[in-house]
Chain A
Amino acid sequence: MVGIGAALVVFVAAVLTVGAAQWVWSAPGERDLTVPERVPFAGGAEPEFHAWNRFHIRYYAMALLFLAFDMEMVFMYPWAVVFVREGLLALIEMLMFILILVVGMVYAWREKSFEWS
């Protein structure tokens, strides 16, 4: 019975909230906007084309590199546990792993992947 009572309280509260939100929304006497009122502001000119367009996200190369190094950090958490047990050997292995990633980054740098264009 307690469960049904709680559900009822939540239901009534939800209905009241939706009702109040609708009242607040309609109180200022909202009217439909005309076509020129809906048009986005571009300094006074009329847009000829719809603004829905596909363009180049120029940070994608950086985003990919971020993902690579992010995954490496995730890999370092379990490695930290192994490092306590294995010591120097684990450190050298991790340095080799990071070195391979750094070579990749230097290559990307040489290929001008970090340039914002």
Chain B
Amino acid sequence: MELKERLAHLAKTGDVPVFAVVGSGHRSPVRRLRLSDGINLVASPRHAAVLLVAGTLTEAATETVSRVHDQMAGPRVTVGWNHPEPSIVPLAENVVGGVPDVTAAIRQQFANVLTGTIPGEPPLLPNVDPVEWRGVGPYGHGGAGMTGGNPYGRPLPLRAPARDTLELDQLPITIGPWFAGFPPGLALRVLLQGDVVQGLEVDSTRFVSDGPGGVFERALREPTLIRDLEMDRARHHLEWMADALLICGVDRLALRADRLASTIEAGDVQRVDRLIASVRRSLLRPMTMRGVGVLPPDVDLTGLGPVARAAGVAEDARAAEDGYDDLGFTPVTHTAGDAWARFSQRAQETTQAIDLAGRAGNRLAFGSGAVEAPDGLHRAEGSRPADRFVAMLEVVLNGEEWGDLVTTIQSFDIDMESVSAPKDVP
């Protein structure tokens, strides 16, 4: 056996580095994929060999997904997961099924491309410079500005207002829609100076299609078992906590939160309490979140669920339901209103949800056009909490440091599937 073949066979036994583009209905399944043996979900396509296109995306996503595809180091392969035909990018395989099916397919395609059974995919976008880098001289040198032209076809950044008598630059850059620190589908155009955000605009393009809707969508139309609602809430919050811990770099605790989300049962409060105690002991989390993402006092918090309750607004649609009243439900609140308060709020609501689910029996709740979902109050008509969070990003995040911006956006728990049109919301 040749050396190259031996190396390929050795490489295919390792974890497969996968970059996931997450479409509608697949945030939770992709999170569960993190628990699969042999799959390593990475935050950048530069580290990936397999591109996973999960769920439904809009036509507008085609260019961005193609760019992500081209940014993977070769040999690369693309796998679809419940992605509707015709697919927005060419797929080596489109898996219709659950987590075990897609895990097997990813591993198989990775082995195929490593051993040369199938060739690595060629780039999708044309090999054209936006503008040729050429100055006025005979060798492309010289001309106006520092570089004598537009390096790699791009102009140099804008000039910022003088600060401490220094004339510095502002770099306008669009981040997203597939940046791992943001909710899938959210793209922001930011004006950066170093890591300080000096301007911000939400990209109004829709990249992710409407979500299929879960148990909370059903509860808008018909009375639903409290047990189902609360278990779904607990799972949602645990998965959100795993994301928050991943952003913070505490992968070990994130894995525990993911495991808990997939195995938790009604009434099993102790396991959640142990996880939360570990997070508090880690200190890292409280240190990176305290005082971050505090909302201005004039922001209307009505109907914003855990974000509002973390800022001391004791408002919860569950309190008005007879089923919850029987169980002695009272809303949990915090006062600080920062990202750490939101983490603590969701942690406590998770414990509360599991406790309620354990005692709920066959009690029903909601069904009259409004429901308290994990991200806030959902109504059959009108804007969703995600719409309002997206609308307030520009006000809340201007002037923040980049790291705090990512933490704040994560702390809101924005679901881009339920955002109607990111820019045109009240």
Least Cβ–Cβ distance between B222 and chain A, in angstroms:
39
Given A41-B45, A56-B163, A56-B193, A47-B173 contact (CB < 8 Å): yes
Q: Which residue of B is nearest A60, CB measured?
A: B164
A interface SS class: loop
Q: Mark A39-68, 1 if CB is under 8 A from B, else 0.
A: 101111111111111111110000000000
Are A46 and B67 in touch, CB under 8 angstroms?
A: yes
Within 8 A of A (CB), among B127-183: 127-130, 146-147, 150-152, 154-158, 163-164, 166, 168-179, 182
Least Cβ–Cβ distance between B12 and chain A, in angstroms:
17
- With a cutoff of 8 Å between Cβ atoms, the chain A residues found around residue B126 in the complex are 36
How far apart sit A46 and B164, CA to CA, in the bound complex (Å)? 32
Are A49 and B177 in touch, CB under 8 angstroms?
A: no
Are A42 and B156 in touch, CB under 8 angstroms?
A: no
Are B172 and A43 in touch, CB under 8 angstroms?
A: no
B125 contacts the other chain (Cβ, under 8 Å)? yes
Least Cβ–Cβ distance between B199 and chain A, in angstroms:
13
- With a cutoff of 8 Å between Cβ atoms, the chain A residues found around residue B21 in the complex are 44
Contact of B176 among A45, A56, A58 (CB under 8 A): A45
A115 contacts the other chain (Cβ, under 8 Å)? no
Q: How many A-B residue pairs have CB under 8 A?
A: 122
Are A56 and B71 in touch, CB under 8 angstroms?
A: no
A103 contacts the other chain (Cβ, under 8 Å)? no
How far apart sit A38 and B152, CA to CA, in the bound complex (Å)? 10
Q: Using a Cβ–Cβ cut-off of 8 Å, how many residues does chain A contribute to the interface with B?
A: 24
Are A34 and B123 in touch, CB under 8 angstroms?
A: yes
Least Cβ–Cβ distance between A54 and chain B, in angstroms:
5
Least Cβ–Cβ distance between A94 and chain B, in angstroms:
34
- With a cutoff of 8 Å between Cβ atoms, the chain B residues found around residue A36 in the complex are 66-67, 70-71, 123-127
Known: A43-B177, A44-B67, A45-B177. 17 other contacts (CB 8 A): A35-B129, A39-B67, A39-B70, A41-B68, A43-B182, A45-B67, A46-B67, A48-B154, A49-B173, A50-B147, A52-B157, A54-B169, A55-B169, A55-B194, A56-B163, A56-B193, A56-B196
Interface residues of B (CB under 8 A from A): 21, 44-46, 64-68, 70-71, 123-130, 146-147, 150-152, 154-158, 163-164, 166, 168-179, 182, 187, 192-194, 196, 203
Interface residues of A (CB under 8 A from B): 34-39, 41-58
Could you name 24 residue pairs across A and B whose Cβ atoms are closer than 8 Å?
A35-B127, A36-B125, A37-B70, A38-B152, A39-B71, A41-B71, A42-B174, A42-B175, A44-B64, A44-B67, A44-B178, A44-B179, A45-B64, A45-B175, A47-B154, A49-B171, A50-B154, A50-B155, A51-B173, A53-B169, A53-B171, A55-B171, A55-B193, A58-B194
